[in-house]
Structure 1
Amino acid sequence: MTVLLLAGTGDARLIAEGLAHRGVAVIASLAGVTQRARPLPVPTRCGGFGGQAGFEAWLDSAGIAAVLDATHPFAERITRRTAQVCAVRGIPYLYHLRPAWQPEEGDDWREIAREEEAAALIPPGSTVFLGTGRQTLHRFANLQGRRVICRQIDPPTAPFPFDGGEFLIGRPPFSVPRERDLFAALGIDWIVVKNAGGEASRTKLTAARELGIPVLMIRRPPPPDAPVTDSVDAAIAWAARQ
């Protein structure tokens, strides 16, 4: 029997490494959003499952005994579906949710619930840096009248979805000095991010604090009604027991 690791985050990579070291039978799954993703040290599939029915059929065919969900904190649809399917089918499920970012002294953060709320706080004429990825970019369409810069890992496959926007291509990790220099060179007035947590991507927040740039922080969706851990070691130990 095999553990399914829903991956795509830095913590998922650490979990995969830990499970490989322990010799746990595991299959990792990547959504396939990022091109040329770094390979994981365990057998890996890439792409969707074909909806809930396809997911359930794949669980059966792969002999999945447990599911460890270490997807992005904002992968709400995947997490909700997976938790529900596992609950109904009696498959052990654990959600790994890394701790959210918390403001530090000198930070100027304003929390919002949805991307569409940003326009009410960002004045027209501002230059806005979006560190939110391309999948929810269309939700910022009411930011017209501002210069909007969206950073993404892969080159765009379609034009920017609204006027006044441009893509910036960059592959992490990004150091604090690099982020600080970038924001200063672009004349960034506001930064918008999702509260993804994690140390590697916090550098943009540190750079914003040093430059005095206000940050709009998009609040996380609620976790599923299921067991949750924020510890990589605890997640590895749980999977090894299954």
Structure 2
Amino acid sequence: MKVLLLGGTGEARELAGLLTGAGIDVLTSLAGRTTNARLPAGEVRSGGFGGADGLAAWLRTHPVDAVIDATHPYAATMTAHAIEAARATGVPLLVLRRSGWTPEPGDDWQPADSHADAAAMLPALGARVFLTIGRQGLDAYAGTGLWTLARCVDPPEPPPSWCELLLARGPFSEADELALLREYRIDVLVTKNSGGAATAAKLRAARQLDLPVVLIRRPALPAEAETVSSVEQAAQWVMRQNPA
């Protein structure tokens, strides 16, 4: 059995290891946007497919038994392309999406539908902003006039002149996040509702310091997408597709 795994997340790496350990041939496709990315078990390809039509053409010339979309919860375009290509070729598709975060007592979360909405909210919330949204979408915050720290894995191109960049790769501990928030005297945190334990420490740190968090909502998944929220569920689904 061979599986095409659209990866780039911790869940994708975990699933690739689990499936290859079970004797399943896994090809993980990475977008190639992150330098020195942690590679999963099995075969790896890098770069896009050329939209839904390009992915469908690839599936016709590289037959696989199943496709799993385990991309980032905000990779809505890739998910839409995967659904369209699977429908066109008849290849079974599963979307693996970890659950989003939910607020706990003491949290001050301000939901936003987009980066533009989040940027518009900031002047009323604080004067010193910490962005943990990655390098895509930074430009939406350039006009706030607020002091801003932006943490990214890779530097944006071209580097923005309106904010201070902090290049670092997580996961970060709660103690690390507390120290950072205090060092830079942060008033408000902006992040995406990515979910998962790996990047949740910043939320606990913000809670300890009574800081507001502007949380950008996830894009909705298409209704027709078959979806699971755990690696174990995804592995079980693959086993059910096994033609053997």
* Alpha-carbon distance, 1:40 to partner: 0.9
Match of 1:60 in 2: 60
Mapped to 2, the partners of 1:81 and 1:54 lie a distance apart of 9
**Superposed CA offset, 1:131-189 (max 9, x none):** 1111121222332x1012111112344121xx531211011110000010001101111
CA contact (8 A) 1:83 1:226 kept: yes
Match of 2:220 in 1: 222
Match of 1:69 in 2: 69
* Alpha-carbon distance, 1:238 to partner: 1.1
* Alpha-carbon distance, 1:89 to partner: 2.2
Give the % identical residues: 44
* Alpha-carbon distance, 1:88 to partner: 2.7
Q: Secondary structure at the match of 1:3?
A: strand
Cα RMSD for the two superposed structures: 1.5
**Superposed CA offset, 1:47-67 (max 9, x none):** 111233322222122212211
**Superposed CA offset, 1:59-102 (max 9, x none):** 12221221111100000000011112212322111101111100
Match of 1:137 in 2: 138
Q: 1:15 aligned to 2:15?
A: yes
1:31-180 aligned at under 5 Å gives the runs 31-123=31-123, 126-143=127-144, 145-160=145-160, 164-180=162-178
Aligned length: 239
CA contact (8 A) 2:55 2:81 kept: no
CA contact (8 A) 2:52 2:84 kept: no
TM-score normalised by structure 1 residue count = 0.94
CA contact (8 A) 1:24 1:240 kept: no
The residue type paired with residue 138 of structure 1 is: D
Mapped to 1, the partners of 2:167 and 2:72 lie a distance apart of 20
* Alpha-carbon distance, 1:11 to partner: 0.9
Unmatched 5+ stretches in structure 2: none
Match of 2:200 in 1: 202
* Alpha-carbon distance, 1:226 to partner: 1.3
Q: Secondary structure at the match of 2:122?
A: coil
CA contact (8 A) 1:156 1:167 kept: no
Bigger shift: residues 98-107 or 85-94 = 85-94
TM-score normalised by structure 2 residue count = 0.93
Q: Secondary structure at the match of 2:36?
A: coil
